[in-house]
Amino acid sequence: MEKELFSLFPSCEMFTEYPAKPVQGFYVFQQAEKGRWFKIHKKDVSTRDYALLTMLFTEIRPEADAPSVSRRWLSYLESDGEPPVPFKTDIRIIQLYFGEQLIEQTELQEASCAFFGKAVQLVFASPHEALLIEVKTCAAHEPESFSSYMSALESDFYIKAKMYIGKFQPADSRFPAHFATEKEWFRKSLANGSAEHIYTMENLFPLHLIEQMPSDMKEILVKEVLTPLSYDQEILETVRTFFENGFNASVASKKLYIHRNTLQYRLNKFQEITGISLKDFNGALVAYCASILSKEPEA
C-alpha cells in the first residue's frame, strides 16, 4: 500500500506517530492496522482521491488530535509547555543534521528504536533535523555508541549525518535555554564547514574560544605562528589533528592518511619554523589555537 501511495502522491510522507508539527495545506490520515500516519499535500489530492482516501483511512484533523509526544517535546524545548518526562529527570539532546538529503522518517524511527531502545526517542524537528532525546539511566550511552549509530545510518540507509551530543541536565524550566545554547553551537560548527561528523562541547569549545579572543591576541598568533608558516594548511592541519587525538602519532597519522614518519616530519618542520615545541603542552596549545584561527576568513 505504501508504494502505491508514494507513486500516486509525490508529497506523501509516512510517520510512526502523528507528525510533530502539522503543516497547513496537508491532509493527514491514519493507517490504523499498521499504527502509522501519513500526510499528503492537498494540491496532490483531487475530490475523487479524497473520497477514496477517507474510505480507506481515518482522516486526522490537527485541531481534534491530542498532542503527540513529539509535539510535546518540541513545545517544551521552545519554552511553551511541560516536559513529557517527570520534572527534573536528567535528559540530554543529541542533535542530528541531514543536510538536503531526503530522509524516510519511518525507517529512521524504527532503526533508532532498535539501536537505542526505549530510553532514547527520535523526534523530527524539520525534514532535515532530528533530535535523539535520551533519559539518563545507569547505562547511559557512550560516544562510541553514537559513532556506531552514525556508521549504521551511512551503511544501511546511505545517510551522511552530523551529530551534536549534548550534556545531561534536569528537565526543568532552565533546560530549554540550555538546549538553545547547544543548538547555536551546533549551527555555528556546521557553518564552519568542519569535516567532523560528531561534535561535543569539549571539541567545540576551542573554536568558540578563538571566536571570542580579543583582536590583539589573534594578531600575536598571526605574527608568531601563521605568518612564519605562510599559512601552510598541510602543517597546520597536522598540528590540529595531532592535538585533537591526544598527541597520539599513530592515531593522528591514520586520521590524516599519511605515514607516521610524514607526520613527524611536518611536526618537526612546524617547530623548526616557529620555534614552538609541541612536546610542551603550552606550546601545543598555542599551535592548536593558531591552527583554528587560520581557518577563519579574516585570519
> What pLDDT, on a 0 to 100 scale, did the predictor assign at position 192?
73
- In the block, cell 500500500 appears at 1
Residues 100-139, buried b or exposed e (16+ Cβ, 10 A)?
eeebebbebbebbeebbeeebbbbbbeeebbbbbbbbeee
| pLDDT value, residue 273 | 96
First-to-last CA distance in the chain?
56
What domains are defined for the chain?
2-64 (no CATH), 69-204 (3.30.70.270), 213-293 (1.10.10.2840)
Cell of 251: 592515531
Instruction: Please write the tens of the pLDDT for every residue from 26-75.
Output: 888 887 666 678 889 988 998 888 888 888 888 877 544 445 788 899 99
pTM above 0.75, yes or no: no
Longest dimension (CA), the chain: 78
Counting other chains too, the contacts that 133-136 makes at CB distance below 8 Å and 24 or more residues apart are 133/73, 133/91, 133/92, 133/93, 133/94, 134/91, 134/92, 134/93, 134/94, 135/85, 135/89, 135/90, 135/91, 136/89, 136/90, 136/91, 136/92, 136/168
pLDDT-derived band at 282 (thresholds 50, 70, 90) equals very high
* CA gap 299, 297 in Å, rounded: 6
